Amino acid sequence: MTIEEAQQQVDEWIKTVGVRYFNELTNTAILMEEVGELARIMARKYGEQSFKNNESDKDMADEMADIMWVLICLANQTGVNLTEAFQKNMDKKTTRDSNRHKENPKLNS
């Protein structure tokens, strides 16, 4: 699935199942909530925290997908073509950082 197809699929789902988009502010708050849920899993799996008895990392992929879902909703609502935006961002990073990381002693030790 392409990013464009994902944007179309989310839009179709919203219009047929979801009734309507939540407003942009609500979706921004939901996005932050979803990022926090992923951060909690990451802190427990890769950081110093441990999982509680009723927790596991089994939902990590689902949390990442939730983040994508809400980000796609926000893109659709604000008229952002994520395919174009991502390509422009990759081009920017490639130009700006062409030697930056190779010359970073912190990454090459």
pLDDT in tens, 24-65: 999 999 999 999 999 999 999 999 999 988 878 779 999 999
Would the pTM count as exceeding 0.85?
A: yes
- Distance between CA atoms of residues 5 and 18, nearest Å: 18
Residue 77 CB contacts under 8 Å (≥ 6 apart), including other chains: 21, 24, 27
Query: Residue 53: what pLDDT?
Result: 86
pLDDT in tens, 51-106: 988 878 779 999 999 999 999 999 999 999 999 999 999 999 999 888 888 888 88
Q: Domains in the chain, ordered, with CATH?
A: 3-96 (1.10.287.1080)
